[in-house]
Structure 1
């Protein structure tokens, strides 16, 4: 009987095995996860779950019973030691398991501060999995002082939750502005103002020199010489793809596990999808860290395992929730040369990224219609007149008839 093994029980892994069964695959299916719980949603971890608004069971992508009901062998709390691509087998806790097809959905892991600057002190946290959030949750008490290192979306979302719960929040960003790597100055300005309105002390162009404390963190010294007190620290300085298993197995790595348009790695019968995989995109290669990509790419891989012969066509979109603002992002803004602002009311604004006359991306804050229209235009390869975008009288849906 044909056996498909999926390593990594996150959004991509769960989506892959579900697609196999829903697509009529009748062989063996095994899903292996390092965490002791069924696959769950990660985005609510640092928001609704941390705030106490979402119970653990509501995080689960599917009820645990789903896997047994669909004859999926779910192995939880299990680490894979090695992959032998020649023998088409993996080593799992001292035992050998053979596969006909292997799918790597190993995801990504947060970057940590080095121990040489205090990264190993008690009270220094990252935000990635359930254990991370459970460990820091007891520290979220009113008037506690938290230092957040990193002004990307992870850091800003953590700042939002902390401020809403009444903590005293300081956020430091080494770059000239928050969100510098991923967004235009207009979006940075919007979220800086939003956080400052909620009492967050944002310090840009300031790095972390070292954390202070004897055993447990008590503060930090910054690159400008200032010292700040902190009861605990949250580190949000980016993530890296989990490629160690693949790399040791001799599978080609290129900003993640390198796959072709259909999800195949350089090793026969080995596939990859989600945060850990880099794939062809518009003449280059990219790696997308998003829930929609994890779902769509892993489902494409499942179809191809069943003989679908289907190229994965990415449709990048993302979101972030901060306070009462929902940011929705369509497309990728790489290479933009101007930004068009469209404001429909006091609470809603969208920034449209253009390269020349080509629409690349949209950042929509509390503007679901702008996001929807922008996303559909980008996916269709259509670019509206920038003047029409900036005109508040423009009927957005009419732009879809271009």
Structure 2
């Protein structure tokens, strides 16, 4: 009976991504009636759960921190492709799309995912423990990337408005790639131990002890299915965006809310994977997912849109407004204070969640 249940579960996590991609091909670029939107939303939710399943299979095979890196990079690459596609189709009205999407990803991951992970782990296990060396270096990289790419354009004078000149944009893109490459090298080669989960006594957990690792063949298969699932997640999220946009407009909310909703949908696989790790007292894995996703979002999106700007018409607005810069600065300060001790109580998780709630509130009522 147990074997049959596992077989059905495995079949379900394979079938749903395939259905998602087929449904995406049938609905791409078309206006969807209400019944189809409901079906797309259901398949989208199934694709999220399937992506989490296959990401965990890969993570169990390759170990940390490679597992969290695979999911973060896979989601970000597909997200970047979606941003560039929307910018190419949208013209001047999408000038700030990259900025809004990247900032939403930073706030969702650094406050929403981190806050939930710390809260779940500390409530379930008494206190959340993690490695401050690895988490601190990840936070420093995120803060630097965010400042160089999203804050400085507001204050430069080479071009009017919150934009970079060509030389400045080239520098920001190259700096983002260099910093991201340096971090990945540090995380996976030179100082891998800094990014592994630790016990309450500070000992590194080098492997999961709850099950045998899957075979290499199973991991490769899951990698392919993860790609299909993520394509379905991002593509179907774009498909339901007109419905979300019309609902936002009907409710009299700012258009920025649409970007927040889509970002929340796209980041669902990483959020669920992070919460599962937190429940198992693997808080470092949760933080690797959250900060790694934030870093990848900036480090890969900025170079991609910089390259795309060579043939895209219209301005490329990257600079944040004063309100969002305050939220970003407060997030960095609070995150630093959270990371330094290497352990957190429900209070720290609550503080991050309040910051995330403030971001959502100000997105609705700027």
TM-score (norm 2): 0.28
* Larger Rg belongs to: 1
More helix by share: 2
More strand by share: 1
* Structure with more contact order per residue of length (Cα contacts < 8 Å, sep ≥ 6): 2
TM-score (norm 1): 0.26
